[in-house]
Structure 1
Amino acid sequence: MLEDSQDWYTVKGIETIDSPALLVYPKRVRNNIKQLKSMVSDPERLQPHVKTFKCREVVDMLMEDGISKFKCATIAEAEMLAMAGASEVLIAYPMVGPKVNRMIKLVLAYQDTQFSCLVDCPEQAQHLSDHTYQADVYLRIYVDLNVGTNRTGIAPDGGAMDLYDFCKTTSHLITMGLHIYDGHIRQLDLEKRKEKCDQAFEPVNRLIRTIKEKYGKDFNVIAGGTPTFPVHKDREGVICSPGTFAYWDKGYHDALPEQQFEYAAVLLCRVISRPAPNLICLDLGYKSIASEGTLESRTWFLEHPKWKILSHHEEHMVVDIGEDYLVVGQVVYAIPNHICPTVAMYDKVLTVMEGRLTGCWKTLSRKRKINI
């Protein structure tokens, strides 16, 4: 998408806004939602992940555009979605320990929302079945498949059918289908990414055929994240779960050039010191921006693309600015390399419309617990 102006991110009255702060541009968020919908034939093919934004306001925007199914990673995110009136919520995370009872309480408290979670081994399924039986609650589950990410899941050709069969026989568990996350597939070239994605999905296809032959029923297949979304969106019957699209970030902007989303979240920081003629220190430490990845890639300065980050600490970021000259107190705008963990550092984001601060959105589900 085209930028509406070169200085779209600047804010009038910036002197009243403390830093560091995360600014969000609702008009751009809406544009990104429309762009997402334009990439699929039917909104029912979408079950976006909410880990990026974690706020009710973006969920409301998505639901206004006909998207009512969501994916999340925490019980707090699931509760936020239920509070917003989501029809279906998949917690794409294994429920172990006290989370099992929290999940049951969630199902009982928000009965207008269909909740589900992941299972990747018989022990886990049995544990869920025992607890839901005791509570007299039926819980929807998806068998989680490992297609190479090696994070969670069971290999599709390594016992997944036996696990699927086992889940079907357990008490109080409703087996909804299969879940696949292939976050390791990130080739820059889309055709090469598609080739790797198709290779990883082939054993899944075989498993799907086996399940259909045995049970003769349709079931859900939820697959992929943002990198493989352009591939899975063309698979018949597959539901897609991109998430970063809402705010976008520099990492995916560079790694996924075929996806034309706009930056919709910007970090506001300030120069707090000039320790040397070519150096500035910004108030953009570990506690303000995700510190993963290489030092140089952690952020991109919108007006200063050639700056080089030299060091990063809890409250400080030291940058080599070359021959540029900035005074202490000067404002700097930056795009994070990874927006999702960056958002989790802010209890609220500040909204900007037409160059003016208009309010704030509470990052409600950055908390580990809302009510349940």
Structure 2
Amino acid sequence: MVLPKHGGRVRISLTVRELERHLDQTYFIRDKDEIPSPSLVVFLDLVKKNIDRAIEIVSGDVSKLRPHTKTHKTAEIIQLQLDAGIAKHKCATLREARMLAEVGVSDIVIAYQIIEPNIERLVKLMQNFPEANFKVIVDHPTVVDQLSSAIDQNSLQLKVMIDLNVGMHRTGIEVGNAAVELYAKIDQSKGLHAWGLHVYDGHIHDSNPMDREKSCQVTLGLVSDFKEMLAERGLDVPIVVLGGTPTFPIYAKIPDVETSPGTFIFNDYGYSQKYPDLGFIPAALLLSRVISIPTSGTFTLDLGHKAIAADPKDDRGKIMDVERVEVSIHNEEHWTIKIDDKNNNIDIGEEIFVMPTHVCPTVALHEFYYVIDADGHLIDTWKVAARNRN
């Protein structure tokens, strides 16, 4: 597979610095007193802009998009994507898969190898939602046998994709004869249908778009080689699901490929810093409050690591409206910040916005989103329906 040449300039997103300068306009909330802290606040117009941007990146061809549910875990956001014409979705957990089916999504890839006893839960899910077209991924022959036994015993049919390891070494099987035999085994197993390739490239972290494209070319070469090996055995590859948020604009240029960005829906501080070329705007912030000023050079927020993801270790979020800060202590319910006392006038109860560095695990720490409209009004709360795995 060879990448086509770029078809024009990529629009650049607002940088975090620009967002800070326009904080009052971009993240204005009229009803702060109605929102407890710490809380996860979602700006609806920015979420919609990010959906529009993803569609723009694939040149309006929504069939190229299979967004990952793991970031938002919320029925209302699935509905926003469905309303935009995005019909195919991907998830990591059976609870996410159930939520997708409950909303009415009919084409669902569960991008996580399901083993016993969860295979029985998969069977029940398929029985409860017969109109949904579930697909799963595998990287080991034992799992193929377990799936085939359970699916055939219950007179069901299941499409199964092979999970390729193209360099991340987290899951998947490497390109080679063993992978070909695994794919053939799926094709020959009762109740199962070999249905293509799932390829996640989470090891690609290049900030420079040209370097990122070179890294993606390596992945595409592996995929192309494997498809040729399968073709020599007469094995069909109906779909290829490739990439995540950083790389999906590159893979979207390739024919017969679906892309599965996830973080794009909210973006976060980490991706805003590392991938500004993507054009997505951070759409979810944490609202916290100052609960203590223990010394003249410190203040403490009610934003412990039970409310913001504890990864990465050193830079868990951008404190957006305070100058020259340094993290001092981060505990379960407290986050103590060092400040330049000469340039900051912090008061007890003051609201502080924090942009999480990693929004996906941050979401799972909250039961609800507080949803803000374009005029700054609190208009709804959305349940993070799939935050639990079961």
8 Å CA contact retained: 1:147, 1:201: no
Shift of 1:218: 5.0
Match of 2:180 in 1: 161
Match of 2:298 in 1: 279
Structure 1: gaps spanning 5 or more residues: none
Match of 2:324 in 1: 306
Match of 2:366 in 1: 346
Q: Which stretch of the first structure deviates more once superposed, 20-29 or 200-209?
A: 200-209
Calculate percent identity across the aligned residue pairs: 35
Shift of 1:363: 0.5
Match of 2:269 in 1: 250
Q: Find 1:226's aligned residue among 231, 240, 245.
A: 245
8 Å CA contact retained: 2:116, 2:146: no
Rounded to whole Å, the distance in 1 between the matches of 2:131 and 2:324 is 51
Matches within 5 A, 1:162-241: 162-215=181-234, 217-241=236-260
Q: TM-score, with normalisation over the residues of structure 2?
A: 0.91
Q: How many residue pairs end up in the alignment? A: 368
Shift of 1:367: 2.1
Matches within 5 A, 1:1-372: 1=13, 5-7=22-24, 8-41=26-59, 42-157=61-176, 159-215=178-234, 217-295=236-314, 297-304=315-322, 306-323=324-341, 324-353=344-373, 354-369=375-390
What secondary structure does 1:258 align onto?
A: helix
Give deviations 1:38-65, integer Å, cap 9, x for gaps. Answer: 0113100110001111111110010011
Give me the CA root mean square deviation. Answer: 1.5
Rounded to whole Å, the distance in 1 between the matches of 2:155 and 2:324 is 60
8 Å CA contact retained: 1:157, 1:203: no
What secondary structure does 1:326 align onto?
A: coil
Rounded to whole Å, the distance in 1 between the matches of 2:265 and 2:325 is 27
Structure 2: gaps spanning 5 or more residues: 1-12
What secondary structure does 1:203 align onto?
A: helix
Q: TM-score, with normalisation over the residues of structure 1?
A: 0.96
Give deviations 1:159-202, integer Å, cap 9, x for gaps. Answer: 21111111111110111100000101011111111111211331
Rounded to whole Å, the distance in 1 between the matches of 2:305 and 2:177 is 40
What secondary structure does 1:50 align onto?
A: coil
Rounded to whole Å, the distance in 2 between the matches of 1:62 and 1:355 is 22
Q: Which amino acid aligns with 2:350?
A: Q
Moved over 6 A (4+): none
8 Å CA contact retained: 2:291, 2:348: yes
Q: Which amino acid aligns with 1:34?
A: D
Change (3 A) 1:338 1:28: same
Change (3 A) 1:331 1:236: same
Change (3 A) 1:128 1:305: farther
Rounded to whole Å, the distance in 2 between the matches of 1:358 and 1:159 is 53
Shift of 1:217: 4.0
Rounded to whole Å, the distance in 1 between the matches of 2:306 and 2:156 is 40
Give deviations 1:297-324, integer Å, cap 9, x for gaps. Answer: 1110221253111121100111112121
